[in-house]
Each structure stands twice: as structure tokens, then as C-alpha cells.
Structure 1
Amino acid sequence: MKTLKTILFSLLVIGTLQSCIVSSKPKMDFFSDSGYDFKGARFTSFNVPLMLAKPYIKKALRKDGESEELISLIKKISKIKILTVENGSKEMLNDYAKFLNNNHFEEWATIKHNGENVNLRVKQEGEAIKNMLITVNSHKELVFVDVKGSFTPDDISKMINAVADK
């Protein structure tokens, strides 16, 4: 019986960690298009295993003194993909912005901080926001965060205000 429990627990851990696969190939729609010339850009892509990450994120936000209202937004996240790009170009970033516009993403906020630009775009269906894309642009290093979940415009506004106040 103890062996069976150990095997089941091992399978559960392997299944959970399997979603955290790191790849050098881009895993986001625009970047996985093989017809685009990325001119020497290097990619690192990974999925965040939310079962493991949510408790850690909540703990870190509480430690930083964030409000419970902001922390409760973590519950609404269903999937996170992160893509980092080294040696990215402004042309690539502009083409990415065009791609998002063509796919009905609306720009909600741009925050500038210490020479970095953080851009937030959302895809809204009625009052529901199912997809949020965050872009961090620091010269030739870029970070793209694709957040899927079920948010309201008020949720996104609270998040933007919490970040902008810092």
C-alpha cells in the first residue's frame, strides 16, 4: 500500500512538473511563425506550473505588503507562459504590436520605469478579459508574459494602479 502511494505521488509530481518545460523555441503565436526573420534573436520559453507557483506568488505579495484584493486576483489566473528574447529588435517589437492589433488586443497601459517600458494589452470579450499580454522592453532584452484567466476590467485597473503606485 505504501509503495502504491509513493508511485501515485511520483506520477502526480512528474505530471505537475511536466508543464514547466523550458525550451529554446518560442511558444507564443507570433514568435512561432517560421516565416518571420528574427535576425539572430535567441529565445527561452517556458510554461509556469500554477499549482506550484500560486502559493509562492501569494506569499511573496503578502511579504511585500500588497493588498489582499490584489492577491485575490492570482486565483483568477488559469495559465501563464513566459518568453524571453535576447538580441530582439525594435522592428520585431513593432511587428509584434501589429500582430496583436490584428488579433483584437487592446493596449491598456504603458508604464515607463528606469529606462524600461512595460506594456499591457488585453483581449476582451464583452466584460470578460480572457487573455492579458505583458511586454517588458529593456533595449535588446524583451520579456513577454501571456496570462490567461477570467478577469474583469476592474481587476486589470486595480493591478495597473497597484504597479503604478510603486
Structure 2
Amino acid sequence: MKTLKNIVIIVCAMFLMQSCIVSERPNMAYFSDSGRDFKGARFASINVPMFLAKPIIRRALKKDGDNEEAMRLVRKVSKIKILTVENGDRTMLKEFANYLNDNNYEEWATIKHEGDNVNVRVKQKGEAIKNMLLTVNSDKELVFIDVRGSFTADDISKMINFAKDK
């Protein structure tokens, strides 16, 4: 009976942890459903389970001595997907920006840091922001971070100011 219980626990843990596995297929609709040939671009995608990520993020924020405001923003996040692209080109980035504009994403900020550009876009319905997309563009790779949750415009502004201060 004890062995059966352990097997069930292991199977459940594997099921919950499978979203941590890195995949070589894109996990964002534009890249996986468009049917475009991305000319040798290599993808790595991660779906981050929030029940694992939130405690780690909170611990890191406490260690850095960051304020309660950043912790409050982390509580509002419900899902994070990360996609990295190696050998991506400027055309891919431009087409993706057009796709986002066509799908009602608004550009809120572009932050330049040590040669990298971080672009913040949000999808807003009324006062509620349910989706935020961060695009990090460096010379060597592209990183897309899709953050889902329940945010306000004030939350996003505070997050941008927090990032600029760091």
C-alpha cells in the first residue's frame, strides 16, 4: 500500500513538473501557428509553473531588499511563458511586432539597457490588463516573455519604473 502511494505521488509530481521541461518547439501562437519558415532560427520554450516560481521570486526580492510593491505585482501573475530564439533576424522581429499590433497589443515602453532593447506591450480590455508581453532584443538572441495575470495600468507603470531603477 505504501509503495502504491509513493508511485501515485511520483506520477503526480511528474505531471506537475512536466511544464518545466524545455521544449524546442515554440510555445507562442505566432511562431507555432504561422506556418512561416524562420530560416534556421532555433527555439527554446519554457512554461513556468507559478506555484514553483512565485516562492523563488519572492525569496530573491527579499534577498535584494526590494520593496513590498514588487512583491504585490508578483502575486498578480498567473502564468509565464518564455520563448528564446537563436539566429533570429530583424525581419522576424518586425513581422512579430506587426502581428502584435493586429492583435490589439499596445506598446507601452521601450527600455534600453547595455545595448539590449526591452519592449513592453500589453493587451488591455477596459481597465483590466490580462496579458503583458516583454520582448528582449539583443544582438545574439531574442527573448519573449508572455506574462498573464490581472493587472492595472498603474501596476504596469510601477513595474516599468522598477525596472528602470534597477
Q: Same fold (TM over 0.5)?
A: yes
| Correspondence for 1:138 | 138
**What is the number of residues matched between the two proteins?**
166
For 2:35 and 2:14, the matched residues in 1 are separated by 35
Report the Cα offset of residue 5 of structure 1: 4.6
> Which runs of 5 or more residues in structure 1 are unaligned?
none
For 1:28 and 1:138, the matched residues in 2 are separated by 19
Q: What amino acid sits opposite 2:13 in the alignment?
A: V
Identity of aligned residues (%): 66
Report the Cα offset of residue 61 of structure 1: 1.2
Report the Cα offset of residue 2 of structure 1: 4.3
| Correspondence for 1:30 | 30
> Which runs of 5 or more residues in structure 2 are unaligned?
none
For 1:23 and 1:34, the matched residues in 2 are separated by 18
Give the TM-score normalised by the residue count of structure 1. Answer: 0.94
Please tell me the root mean square deviation across aligned C-alpha atoms, in Å: 1.4
| Correspondence for 2:55 | 55
Report 1:14-25 matches (<5 A).
Answer: 14-25=14-25
| Correspondence for 1:150 | 150
Report the Cα offset of residue 34 of structure 1: 4.5
For 2:57 and 2:126, the matched residues in 1 are separated by 29
For 2:127 and 2:101, the matched residues in 1 are separated by 19
Give the TM-score normalised by the residue count of structure 2. Answer: 0.94
| Correspondence for 2:41 | 41
Contact 1:89 1:140 in 2 (8 A): no
